[in-house]
Amino acid sequence: MQSMVLVGLMSATFALAGCGSDDGGDDGNNAGDGGSSNGGETGKVGVILPDTESSVRWESADRPALEAAFEEAGVEADIQNAEGDAERMTQIADTMIGDGVTVLAIVNLDSESGAAIQEKAATAGVATIDYDRLTLGGSADYYVSFDNTVVGELQGQGLADCLGEKDANIVYLNGSPTDNNATLFAEGAHSVLDAIDSYKVVGEQAVPDWDNEEAATIFQQLYTAADGKVDGVLAANDGLGGAAIGVLEANGQAGKVPVTGQDATVEGLQNVLAGTQCMTVYKSAKLEAAALAEAAIALATGGEAETTGTTEDAEGGRDVPSILLDPVSITKDNVGDVIADGGQSYADVCSGEYADLCTEAGITE
């Protein structure tokens, strides 16, 4: 059932020239039916990832997926990481623009610095793409992401499924206040959980920069303020979820209080298998990277990328052409689907003490 969702998701992948349905390790740049080699026409594409701390996804999932997607498309890409520093991102962008990139894709660290980068790029005639996070008040030509409200809805529904119909005190650990996605995740989760009368919000706080260590401190404070009477935790990603689990563990509550997550990281999937985390959300980096490559090629060659709709940027008063993909809810029952899809490897998830849990969950190498 769940794997059918993933299959459907895979088939919704964007038809890049030469993008086969294999899972990597192919023989390089097979032209496929599109037949267009983009080598010379597209020039170089610059991609700036946000940091290495807010989620392991950026370096462990996005970077390799982006490298593979651009290589597959025969496009030269310069992928860098701003290390959580908006000034650094600005400098990297300046250098990339100076180097003559034709398209610049960023995962902004905040909308203000992102918009300033995009304005400079536009002045230099460089097209821009918002990768994963929408830059409010920005000028990106495309927005490539997942449906982030749905991500929040899946988290809310996942927590409700784990809690069942009982009186429950819920604490929210939201993502960074500077990340528009975090706003959408929280909205989506609230839309599900607020509709259940027996649930009560007993604490809610945004975690600056998605900082996992600060998340532990914040959760400890919320937990203490609630007198330890916490029945469920809506944590916006696996890192924040892990921070909450650590505090629950210290209080003998890990595994008793369901905690959500996002990104289907190795740690998140292992926590799901161990029962300390109730669910995570899988967002295939392979699909997101392929969609970015397609949009970048379209911009560089004067074509148009196939969009799924537009996203309203209320701050900028415009509708941004968007390619939004479908996130997938992951519980113990379908952790194996992430591995089968290449989202994580069996060796990483099922290592050491997790080998038996994988076997129990029917996950094989």
Dig out the tokens for 201 from the structure: 């919000």
Of residues 38, 22, 107, the one with CA closest to residue 342: 22
- Number of amino acids touching ligand BGC (CB under 6 A): 12
**Non-local CB neighbours of 72 within 8 Å, separated by 6+ positions:** 16, 18, 19, 26, 29, 290, 293
Quick check: 259 and 278 in contact, CB under 8 A?
A: yes
CB nearer ligand BGC, residue 141 or residue 288: 288
* C-beta of 19 vs 207, nearer to ligand BGC: 207
Find the shortest distance in angstroms from Cβ 151 to ligand BGC: 7
| By the rule CB under 6 A, 179 interacts with ligand BGC | yes
Which CB sits closer to ligand BGC, 163 or 325? 325
Q: How many CA atoms lie within 13 A of 33 on its CB side?
A: 2
Please, what is the minimum distance in Å from the beta carbon of residue 360 to ligand BGC? 28
108 is a site residue for ligand BGC (CB under 6 A): no
Q: Between residue 225 and residue 244, which ones bind ligand BGC under the rule CB under 6 A? A: 237
Nearer to ligand BGC, 130 or 141 (CB): 130
For residue 13, give the nearest of 287, 251, 324 by alpha carbon: 287
181 binds ligand BGC (CB under 6 A): yes
State yes or no: residue 219 binds ligand BGC (CB under 6 A): no
Per rule CB under 6 A, is residue 63 in the interface with ligand BGC?
no
Q: Is 174 in the site for ligand BGC (CB under 6 A)?
A: no
* Of residues 105 and 363, the one with the C-beta less far from ligand BGC: 105
> Distance (Å, rounded) from C-alpha 286 to C-alpha 246?
30
Beta bridge partners of 313: 318
Q: How far is the CB of 55 from ligand BGC (least distance, A)?
A: 4
The distance of closest approach from Cβ of residue 237 to ligand BGC in the complex, given in angstroms and rounded to an integer, is 4
* Exposed e or buried b per residue across 20-30, where buried means at least 16 C-beta atoms within 10 angstroms of its C-beta: eeeeeeeeebe
Q: Where does this chain touch ligand BGC (CB under 6 A) — which range of 17-25, 37-45, 119-127, 175-183?
A: 175-183
Phi, psi dihedral angles at 278 (to 5 degrees): -80, -30
Query: Does residue number 262 form part of the binding site for ligand BGC (CB under 6 A)?
Result: yes
Site string for ligand BGC, 28-57 (x = CB under 6 A): --------------------------xx-x
Task: Residue 157: count other Cβ atoms within 10 Å of its Cβ.
Answer: 18
- Which residue intervals of the chain are DSSP H helices? 2-11, 39-42, 57, 63-73, 86-98, 111-123, 148-163, 180-193, 212-225, 238-250, 266-274, 285-301, 335-340, 346-349, 354-360
Could you tell me which residues come within 8 angstroms of residue 174 by beta carbon, excluding any fewer than 6 positions away?
A: 182, 185, 186, 204, 205, 206, 207, 236
Interaction of residue 263 with ligand BGC, rule CB under 6 A? yes
| Nearest alpha carbon to residue 222 among 193, 201, 249 | 201
Q: How far apart are the first and last CA of the chain?
A: 20
Strand partners for 169: 200
Nearest approach in angstroms of CB 350 to ligand BGC is 23
Work out how close the CB of 41 gets to ligand BGC at its nearest, in angstroms, rounded to a whole number: 31
- Is residue 133 close enough to count as binding ligand BGC by CB under 6 A? yes
| Candidate list 132, 147, 294, 337; residue touching ligand BGC; CB under 6 A | 132
Minimum CB separation from ligand BGC for residue 81, in Å? 12
Residues in contact with ligand BGC by the rule CB under 6 A: 54-55, 57, 132-133, 175, 179, 181, 210, 237, 262-263
